[in-house]
């Protein structure tokens, strides 16, 4: 049952919009303000990361009646235009997180959102480490840098609830359905470790189109894979019930 103190988060990832589907996704967002207080997008908004696609996504999201927070995904980086795409989205009123946090006022409650694209590397016991060739070290240190930035942002943010928004997965459970051989390219346990250390109420990610929706970090934080092919719908809605004493 929905209560007044529920904070309702609509979320989706991997909408992968292109010119041939212009306008279609926006239709599915009709009435979102009645279902949710905030809309979050977990990256891979485009197919090839071109500026044209970035503008198309911005058009689809422009002027929604609730706050929109997004991170980019690997597809949005493909043409090396990630900053330009983020600028188009910001112009359309979307908050784009790049390893930082934002506080969204939802009624009388403050929702803290921390996130960014994230990156891969694999999961505890079966992961790459900062050893050997420069290329491998760069790969792993990129994820470490991101995890550290999220940890700091989560610790610093002042909010009633904290949600982490990522493209890559922090855990293996929500990858179930994907081939095991590609897990290291789908996420990293370093992201979960950072969030478990700093604390959060929910982690949202995408990227694993064939994965599963629900999982949990080793520290017990709920994780949801909101990739649209996984959800099979325009977005999911998660209700965070207010902690006693915060209202």
Partner 1 sequence: MEAPQYVAARVQQALAEDGRTHELGIRVDIRGDQLFLRGQVSGAQQRLRLGEVAHETAPDLHVHNEIKVVEAHEPGEDEHLD
36-44, 60-68, 133-141, 154-162 -> range binding Fe ion (CB under 5 A): 36-44
According to DSSP, the residues that pair with 8 across neighbouring strands are: 239
Cα–Cα distance measured from residue 41 to residue 106, given in angstroms and rounded to the nearest whole number: 17
Is residue 172 a contact residue for Fe ion (CB under 5 A)?
Answer: no
Per-residue x/- marks for Fe ion, 63-82, CB under 5 A?
----------xx--------
Q: Taking the complex as a whole, how short is the minimal distance between the CB of residue 20 and Fe ion, in angstroms? A: 17
Type and span of the H or E element at 164 = strand 161-166
Binding site for partner 1 (CB under 8 A): 2, 6, 8, 10, 14-18, 20-21, 24-25, 28, 35, 47-48, 75, 78, 178, 201-202, 209-210, 222, 228-229, 232-241
Type and span of the H or E element at 144 = helix 134-156
| Binder of residue 73, out of Fe ion, partner 1, none (CB less than 5 to 8 A by kind) | Fe ion
Q: Taking the complex as a whole, how short is the minimal distance between the CB of residue 29 and partner 1, in angstroms? A: 9
| Binder of residue 233, out of Fe ion, partner 1, none (CB less than 5 to 8 A by kind) | partner 1
- 51-61 helix and 82-91 helix, angle to the nearest 10 degrees: 20
- 134-156 helix and 189-198 helix, angle to the nearest 10 degrees: 20
Residue the block writes with tokens 């346990």: 189
Report the residue from 44, 60, 88, 160 that binds Fe ion according to the rule CB under 5 A: 44
Chain centroid, CA 233 distance in Å: 17
Is residue 14 a contact residue for Fe ion (CB under 5 A)?
Answer: yes
**78 or 110: whose CB is closer to partner 1?**
78
Q: Taking the complex as a whole, how short is the minimal distance between the CB of residue 13 and Fe ion, in angstroms? A: 7
Structure tokens at 69: 């927070």
Nearest to 57 by CA among 98, 30, 87: 87
Is residue 178 a contact residue for Fe ion (CB under 5 A)?
Answer: no
Is residue 201 a contact residue for Fe ion (CB under 5 A)?
Answer: no
Cα–Cα distance measured from residue 116 to residue 148, given in angstroms and rounded to the nearest whole number: 12
* Interface ranges with Fe ion (CB under 5 A): 14, 44, 73-74, 207
């Amino acid at each position: 049952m929905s209560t007044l103190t529920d904070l309702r988060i609509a979320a989706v990832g991997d909408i992968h919009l292109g010119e041939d589907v212009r306008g279609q996704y926006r239709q599915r967002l009709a009435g979102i303000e009645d279902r949710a207080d905030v809309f979050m997008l977990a990256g891979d908004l485009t197919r090839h990361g071109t500026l044209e696609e970035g503008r198309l996504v911005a058009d689809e999201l422009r002027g929604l009646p609730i706050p929109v927070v997004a991170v980019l995904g690997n597809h949005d980086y493909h043409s090396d235009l990630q900053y330009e795409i983020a600028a188009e989205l910001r112009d359309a009123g979307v908050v784009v997180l790049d390893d930082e946090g934002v506080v969204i006022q939802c009624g009388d409650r403050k929702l803290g959102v921390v996130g960014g694209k994230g990156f891969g590397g694999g999961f505890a016991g079966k992961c790459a480490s900062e050893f050997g060739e420069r290329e491998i070290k760069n790969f792993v240190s990129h994820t470490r840098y991101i995890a550290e930035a999220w940890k700091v942002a989560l610790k610093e943010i002042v909010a009633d609830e904290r949600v982490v928004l990522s493209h890559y997965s922090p855990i293996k459970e929500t990858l179930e359905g994907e081939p095991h051989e590609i897990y290291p390219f789908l996420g990293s346990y370093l992201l979960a470790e950072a969030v478990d250390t700093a604390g959060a109420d929910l982690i949202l990610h995408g990227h694993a189109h064939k994965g599963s929706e629900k999982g949990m970090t080793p520290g017990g934080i709920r994780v949801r894979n909101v990739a649209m092919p996984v959800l099979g719908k325009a977005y999911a809605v998660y209700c965070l019930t207010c902690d006693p004493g915060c209202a």
